[in-house]
């Protein structure tokens, strides 16, 4: 049952990721943390994020703004070890609460205009990249900081969505290096990787018929539920 639920969540997340360009870990985080725990769940989500973004890069290669992406990638890679250091020192309840807090931030960041205004230009790119790199290692949720910078900098959506895949590949690769591979049954890990690629392929086919706004609504609904599930699990873990 655990593998079946994880497979379904991974497939849905990959389809949404391909259609919208974002949201893979945001959709996947709640189910994986619920099924596997905070440590293993996030580690698996980060590994699958690497697979998802890596599968999408060849499809959007020509639209990547490499110069802009590098301004975000470099500070993110420098901040990533701090995220790994924090995660390694937090007990399970605190880790669950931190993940929940990051998930809620990810969901409300787009409603904070001042955040986008404060992340303009190269200075904003450095701040957004460092924040995203830290959050990606800690929870896999690097998208909101990047999206806030893109809005503030008026980065065209197609170019940003394409460039984000390259950024996610870089952040996911260093996160896997810092966190290690998931300590889960090999069948769960391999199945997740295969289903992720399948979801990207199916998402590419569905892009002709599924409007991005519909996929985004589904993403937000699933992500809100997942964030509350992680929060409740963290609160329960604190109880004697």
Which comes out higher in pLDDT, residue 109 or 103? 103
Q: Residue 110: its pLDDT value, please?
A: 66
Whole-prediction pTM: 0.88
Which comes out higher in pLDDT, residue 186 or 220? 186
Six token digits for residue 232: 């409740």
Q: Residue 231: its pLDDT value, please?
A: 86
Q: Residue 34: its pLDDT value, please?
A: 86
Contact predicate 172/78, CB 8 Å: no
Comparing 73-82, 116-125, 170-179, which segment has the lowest mean pLDDT?
A: 116-125
Q: Which of 30-39, 106-115, 195-204 has the highest mean pLDDT?
A: 195-204
Contact predicate 143/106, CB 8 Å: yes
Give me the residue label for tokens 């390694």. 88
Six token digits for residue 225: 């539920």
Segment 103-108 mean pLDDT: 80
Would you say residue 191 has pLDDT above 70?
yes
Q: Which of 111-115, 145-149, 208-212 has the highest mean pLDDT?
A: 145-149
Q: Domain limits at 197?
A: 2-238
Q: How many domains does the structure of the chain reveal?
A: 1
| Residue 23 backbone dihedrals phi, psi, to 5 degrees | 95, 0
Which comes out higher in pLDDT, residue 37 or 119? 37
Segment 123-140 mean pLDDT: 89
Q: Is the torsion defined by CA of 56, 71, 112, 92 positive or negative?
A: positive
pLDDT of 80-99, one tens digit each? 999 899 988 888 888 888 88
Segment 148-172 mean pLDDT: 88
Give me the residue label for tokens 């295969």. 194
């Amino acid at each position: 049952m655990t593998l079946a639920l994880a497979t379904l969540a991974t497939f849905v997340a990959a389809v949404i990721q391909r259609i919208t360009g974002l949201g893979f870990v945001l959709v996947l985080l709640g189910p994986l943390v619920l099924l596997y725990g905070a440590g293993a769940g996030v580690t698996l989500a980060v590994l699958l994020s690497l697979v998802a973004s890596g599968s999408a890069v060849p499809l959007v290669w020509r639209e990547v703004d490499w110069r802009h992406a590098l301004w975000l990638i470099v500070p993110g890679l420098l901040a990533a070890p701090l995220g790994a250091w924090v995660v390694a020192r937090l007990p399970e309840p605190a880790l669950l609460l931190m993940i929940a807090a990051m998930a809620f931030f990810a969901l409300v960041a787009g409603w904070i205009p001042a955040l986008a205004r404060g992340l303009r230009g190269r200075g904003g790119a450095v701040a957004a990249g460092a924040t995203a790199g830290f959050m990606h290692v800690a929870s896999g949720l690097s998208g909101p900081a990047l999206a806030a910078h893109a809005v503030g900098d008026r980065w065209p959506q197609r170019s940003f969505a394409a460039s984000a895949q390259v950024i996610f590949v870089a952040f996911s690769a260093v996160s896997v290096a810092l966190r290690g591979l998931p300590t889960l049954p090999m069948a769960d890990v391999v199945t997740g990787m295969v289903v992720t690629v399948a979801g990207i392929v199916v998402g590419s086919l569905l892009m002709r018929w599924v409007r991005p706004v519909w996929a985004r609504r589904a993403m937000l609904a699933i992500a809100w539920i997942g964030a509350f599930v992680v929060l409740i699990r963290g609160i329960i873990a604190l109880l004697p």
